[in-house]
Amino acid sequence: MNPNDVILRSVTKVAIVIILTFSIYLFFGGHHNPGGGFIGGLSVAAGLVLLYLAFDIETVRKNIPVDFKKVAGLGVLLAVLTGMTSIFAGKPFLNQTFGYFNLPVFGKTELATAVLFDVGVALAVIGTAVTIILSISEDG
């Protein structure tokens, strides 16, 4: 059976941009507004699941050639390593620091090491969620 899902695919192509943009917005808004690594990662995963629904798994895998199990592992590793850098600086584990920088486009911006920890969380969430979806969708 080969259903004609041209509408679904066209809408997906537009919607995926909006979903991924929104998830990045959620991710970076986490410090001052509701959002953060967990929900940001989950909405990226939701976007990926939409892609899997609209196209088939093989097509998406060809275009996003990532092993999501490793993404999850790398995410947690990044989070732990961010916590560990403070050990080498002589501070307690999981200590964080921040500073203000003048960036070309954004102007004066606050950058905190907590964001790196959040990147780790987001990667772990994306990796786990997509791995679950992919493993249960494969027929044994």
Partner 1 sequence: MNNLVIWPIIIPLIAGLILILFRKNILFQRLLSILAIIGIGVVSVSLMSQIKGNGIQTLQAGGWAPPYGISIVADMFSAILLLSSSIVALFCLIYSFRSIGEKREKHYFYPFYLFLITGVNGSFLTGDIFNLFVCFEVMLISSYVLISLGGTKLQLRESIKYILINVLSSSLFLVAIAYLYAMLGTLNFAHLSLRVAEAGQDGLLTTVSLLFLIVFGMKAALFLFFWLPGAYSAPPTAIAAVFAALLTKVGIYALFRTFTLVFYHKPEVTHFIIGILGALTMLLGAIGAIAYWDIKKILTYNVIVGVGFIIAGLASQTPNGIMGSLYYLIHDILIKALIFLLGGAIIVITGTSKLKEISGLIRNHPYLGWMFFIAALSLAGIPPLSGFLGKVFITRGTFEAGYYWLGGIGLLTSLMVLFSIMKIFMNVFWGETALSKEMEKGTTKGLMFPIGCLTALTITLGLGAEGIHEYVQIAADGLVNPSLYIEAVMAGAK
Binding residues for partner 1, rule: CB under 8 A, are 69-70, 72-74, 76-77, 80-81, 83-84, 87, 91-96
Q: Residue 105 is encoded by which pair of tokens?
A: 């486009």
Residue with smaller CB distance to partner 1, 25 or 93: 93
In angstroms, rounded to a whole number, what is the distance separating the alpha carbons of residues 132 and 139? 13
In angstroms, rounded to a whole number, what is the distance separating the alpha carbons of residues 45 and 39? 10
Q: Which helix (H) or strand (E) holds 120?
A: helix 114-137
CB of 70 to partner 1, least distance (A): 6
Residue with smaller CB distance to partner 1, 27 or 117: 117
Residue with smaller CB distance to partner 1, 33 or 95: 95
CB of 76 to partner 1, least distance (A): 5
Residue with smaller CB distance to partner 1, 40 or 75: 75
Cβ partners under 8 Å of residue 22, min gap 6: 43
CB of 28 to partner 1, least distance (A): 22
CB of 117 to partner 1, least distance (A): 11
